[in-house]
Structure 1
Amino acid sequence: DLLGELTEDILQRSFLYQLLAKYRPDAVIDSVNTATAFAYQDAEKSAQALLEAAARGQADRATVERHVLLLTMPQLIRHVQILVESLKRAATKAYVKIGTSGTGGMGFNIPYTHSEERPSRLLLTKSAVAGAQSLLLFLLGRTPGAPATVEIKPTATIAWREIGYGPIRRKGKPIPLVDCPTPIAIAQAFAPDAHPWCELAGTLEGAYIDVGENGLFSRDEFETVTALGQMEFITPEEVADYVMMELQGRPTGRDVVAALDAATAGPTYRAAMLRGAALERLRALERDAGSRGVAFEMLGPPRLTKLLWESYLCGLLHPSVRALAESQAAELSRAAHARIERDATLRSHILSVGIPILTPDGERVYRGGQVAVPADGGDGGDPRSAAPRGWVDLRPEQFGIWITRAREMIAQAERRARCSDESGSDVDWTAIGADDPIEPARFATWVFRFEDRGERIKR
């Protein structure tokens, strides 16, 4: 479930998915401290134990699996994958995460640590997970069809829930009273079989302040951590007020996602102006060399390279989008294969960048030494299943897809023509026209935009 691809079965078995699917909330307020939950499983300690077991020759599969299940980033990524898909399917309109800095707002000089390291690796892991989650939420906020995304990240101790006097509980359990009336030699005190203490009746009691996930603090502990210049503190009610104001559309200035939107450097006017000059220079170089690059398979994914080369083949065989839309798939398939057979330079370029070419009958393939998407024919699988992800596919059914795309482009152009009197900035001035030539980059962009819904919504 953790390291494989996210499947429908994994999604359906998730309690988070089941919860959101059942109630379909308009808004979700997530106050679970995910960073603490994942980081404090202590993958570093587990790794040390695994290495020691390996040195003894005892690192069996079960030992390795136990360690793998503690890896922090795979857990976070799978959690967010399930969260995103669940929120989208539930049609949730707003998601608010109450995050953490991991250090109560302090820096690398934080004195509240659990080891000789300052700060401890465990604490830094918590901060790293919290930061990684913020960036994943930043992406969620830029995803069409996903809810409006807000993260409130308190950077101080959050307190308090209760002040009282009574049993002191650690991790939910009362602390038993013990005593050691007589000191013993330090060399013996910590031996595995050492037991110099005796258990007393009752449990530890005292005046406490309950600060939530951090447990119960004594007066002096609370006074220390909240002192000026230490973590200081913020009340839960203030955090809740920030959340409610954001949900009501009243910006608080405390939304980390909005802050990242404002602080990141997006596309610029200068770059847009230079883009045209760069493209013209590339066209001139191609004209002078009599060579067309199309794709080198460095941008990725391999599917993009496939789309670019297949649409390039369509452009070699038909002068316009309309001509492609009026063509026949079988004829287009035969013509494309004939072009591949006789044009060794074209064929070599496609194969050299790692893209196999599947013949029209689906039974043979051209391939080079490197293959970006290898065939997976193991366990009775069909090796052709790799074709949609990164092979130039010359089968008629694949060219039928391109013909269908061309027809949809024409339908879009006709819908725009019915609104020909409109000339505002909301008009899609870069849209593909019915009589436009077939340009691979524009075709690939169209597929990403309209089929994959992969369009940028923030700048």
Structure 2
Amino acid sequence: MQIENARILILGGWGLVGSAICHKLMEHNPKQIVISSLRKEEAEDACQQLRNEYPNIPQNMFVPVWGNIFTRVEWKDKNWDEVLSEKNSRKGAVKDIFDQLNDDILNQSALYRFVVDNQPDIVIDCINTATAIAYQNVYQTTSVVSNEIDTDNLKSEDVEKMMVSMYIPQLIRHIQILQKALIAGKSKLYLKVGTAGTGGMGLNIPYTHSEERPSRVLLAKSSVAGAQSLLLFLMARTPECPIIKEIKPTAAIAWKKIAYDTVMRKGKPIPLCDMTLNDAYSVNGQFDFNKIDKIKATGDNYKSVFIDTGENGIFSKGEFQAIGALRQMEIITPEEIAEYVVYELMAGNSGHDIVQGLDAFTLGPTYRGGMLYNRAVEKIKKLEKENNVDSIAFEMLGPPRLSKLLFEAYILKRIVGGMKNLNSYSPEEISDKAKKLIESDSKLRSEMLSIGLVVLLPDGKNYIKGFDVKIPAKTDKPIDITPEKIEEWCKDAWVDLRPKSFVEWKSRINEIMSQAESIPENETSSRFTYTKEYWDNFETFDEGKIAGWIFEYEDKGWRWKR
């Protein structure tokens, strides 16, 4: 990927690593760097510092954007606790995480708007996603709800707060939005600067967030970080997505500055307090957190010498010496990370790209697996004949669309025999014969209905179903049937016997045959997969092969990495 003349969006560009990456990128003449940060003043400060350092470049080289990328545009500048304290916004947050992804959720997302509105060629994500999600602390919100259940005083507000603090649903929605944003924004490369959550240490990490060791919250951070890496691994295997990379530092990242100033914790100064020895409380009795009558505020804030390590906070001399000591977290500098990031952007192989590592060390399809796959298919066919059954679909693999396609193709096979015979029948004839087939073949009908499929009859006005229904998903109340919903359900799972369904099937089969017939007769190389020989010269109607072709060519669900 060429950095020169590229527009680059750096998520978390004000932070320690983001700032170092900005400086490194400037060595390669980018067209524009869009710098995002949580707060407006941070993003603007980052841009101004860069303008001061590079005074001879155009003023629009550095563009600030700001806000919480994990929420809606309308809430991006609000404190999250404030958002959750208001009933409508809290319910909206629940829907944003748990509802099926739709255009409304996408267009309201701050992350989606940042990417789509700026159309970056490259997105570099320096935000610690794992921290942002895990430190919402589902353990704490669950404890509140659990106590309310025990006292028979359950509040819907606290249940909703617990729901929006759940780690995996948040991460899944974040990745879904990110994928859509990168595609809509026409980005060519996405690089994540991730985290291990423990600074490279193991479960014996002594730096914890509670009396528990290792801390559940800290391990949640590592869990989210690991899950995100695997989701990025899957995104990298998605053909329409940009190039996906991740650099994952496994040491304490330091440092931004060393100074004598007010000590800030969670963005606020630490107010000093005092209590004389003469006012000491007795250890007899209870430890009361609210007993503060003898504690006095001094009126001053804590000031000292510290080292600023960016998102990990500021450390005293002693804290920094401990964490950086040999065999503790030890130290990696942001400039080193920036070098690896830019090297990877320029198609270099740093040896530290997590996605490439997973590609290299995961075990894909094998020659033996392919050979035995064909043997297994032949064995299944043999047993079908011996037992006089057809093994079509059980609705265990999913999605329901697969079962629907397999049964529709099977019905066509029963009616026309081979693919080459399909054009001898009109859609109306096939529709009529399909109805007669499922009327007369109770076994076929029973199998479809019993696995959860609904069958829409040729008139489009009536349907049959079994006890279990896969689509639509079951709800507490009946669902109004509309023409739009019928079309949606037929696409996803209903066996559709209307003539219009068989118009689509004829078009599909003709495309398959045309594709195979376009291959020259004397072409015998390994170049083509879907040859006439693959389709048995159109003499048969192999529903499994056809479903595989549909998933590749129509649903765009195909594998390109092995």
TM range (shorter): over 0.9
Query: In 2, distance between residues paired with 1:45 and 1:435?
Result: 62
Find out whether 1:293 has 2:293 as its counterpart: no
Query: In 2, distance between residues paired with 1:397 and 1:433?
Result: 27
Query: In 2, distance between residues paired with 1:399 and 1:429?
Result: 22
CA-to-aligned-CA distance 1:239-280 (integer Å, 9 cap, x gap): 111111111111111111111111111110001111111111
Matches within 5 A, 1:401-440: 401-417=504-520, 420-429=521-530, 432=535, 435-440=538-543
Find out whether 1:380 has 2:488 as its counterpart: no
Query: In 1, distance between residues paired with 2:316 and 2:289?
Result: 31
Matches within 5 A, 1:40-79: 40-79=135-174
CA contact (8 A) 2:455 2:497 kept: yes
Structure 1, 267-276 or 163-172: larger mean CA deviation:
163-172
Aligned partner letter, 2:100 = E
Q: 1:47 to 1:379 in 2, by over 3 A?
A: same
CA contact (8 A) 2:516 2:530 kept: no
Find out whether 1:449 has 2:549 as its counterpart: no
Which residue does the alignment assign to 2:109?
A: 14
Query: In 1, distance between residues paired with 2:447 and 2:165?
Result: 44
Query: In 1, distance between residues paired with 2:407 and 2:289?
Result: 70
Which residue does the alignment assign to 1:157?
A: 252
* Structure 2 portions without partners, runs of 5+: 1-95
CA-to-aligned-CA distance 1:28-57 (integer Å, 9 cap, x gap): 110100000110111101111112223333
Query: In 2, distance between residues paired with 1:11 and 1:212?
Result: 30
CA contact (8 A) 1:189 1:196 kept: no
Q: 1:5 to 1:298 in 2, by over 3 A?
A: same
Which residue does the alignment assign to 1:311?
A: 409
Query: In 2, distance between residues paired with 1:446 and 1:252?
Result: 38
Which residue does the alignment assign to 2:176?
A: 81
Query: In 2, distance between residues paired with 1:356 and 1:246?
Result: 50
Query: In 1, distance between residues paired with 2:261 and 2:323?
Result: 22
Query: In 2, distance between residues paired with 1:312 and 1:349?
Result: 12
Find out whether 1:124 has 2:225 as its counterpart: no
Which residue does the alignment assign to 2:370?
A: 272
| 3-state secondary structure, aligned to 2:561 | coil
| 3-state secondary structure, aligned to 1:150 | strand
Query: In 2, distance between residues paired with 1:89 and 1:380?
Result: 33
Q: 1:375 to 1:104 in 2, by over 3 A?
A: closer
| 3-state secondary structure, aligned to 2:111 | helix
| Deviation for aligned residue 1:195 | 3.4
Aligned partner letter, 2:512 = M
Structure 1, 344-353 or 201-210: larger mean CA deviation:
344-353
CA contact (8 A) 1:321 1:433 kept: no
| Deviation for aligned residue 1:308 | 0.5
Which residue does the alignment assign to 1:394?
A: 497
CA-to-aligned-CA distance 1:197-255 (integer Å, 9 cap, x gap): 22224322221111111111111111110111100111111111111111111111111
| 3-state secondary structure, aligned to 1:416 | coil
CA contact (8 A) 2:229 2:354 kept: yes
| Deviation for aligned residue 1:2 | 1.0
TM-score (structure 2 length as normaliser): 0.78
CA contact (8 A) 1:158 1:211 kept: yes
Q: 1:278 to 1:188 in 2, by over 3 A?
A: closer
| Deviation for aligned residue 1:315 | 1.2
Aligned partner letter, 1:394 = L
CA contact (8 A) 1:373 1:386 kept: yes
Query: In 1, distance between residues paired with 2:319 and 2:433?
Result: 80
CA-to-aligned-CA distance 1:319-363 (integer Å, 9 cap, x gap): 332322453211110011111111222222222323232211122
Query: In 1, distance between residues paired with 2:299 and 2:448?
Result: 80
Which residue does the alignment assign to 2:281?
A: 184
CA-to-aligned-CA distance 1:363-397 (integer Å, 9 cap, x gap): 22233333333477845333734333222211111
| 3-state secondary structure, aligned to 1:177 | strand
Query: How many pairs are equivalent?
Result: 457
Could you tell me the percent identity over the aligned residues? Answer: 44
CA-to-aligned-CA distance 1:65-91 (integer Å, 9 cap, x gap): 122111111111111100011111112
Q: 1:211 to 1:436 in 2, by over 3 A?
A: farther
Which residue does the alignment assign to 2:429?
A: 331
CA contact (8 A) 2:406 2:543 kept: yes
Q: 1:145 to 1:111 in 2, by over 3 A?
A: same
Which residue does the alignment assign to 1:359?
A: 457
Query: In 2, distance between residues paired with 1:449 and 1:359?
Result: 28
RMSD: 1.9
| 3-state secondary structure, aligned to 1:54 | helix
Pick one of 172, 179, 203 that aligns with 2:267: 172
Aligned partner letter, 2:364 = G
Query: In 2, distance between residues paired with 1:128 and 1:298?
Result: 28
Q: 1:397 to 1:375 in 2, by over 3 A?
A: farther
CA-to-aligned-CA distance 1:421-440 (integer Å, 9 cap, x gap): 54433322556477342110
CA contact (8 A) 2:344 2:350 kept: yes
Pick one of 319, 324, 328 that aligns with 1:226: 324
Q: 1:191 to 1:410 in 2, by over 3 A?
A: closer
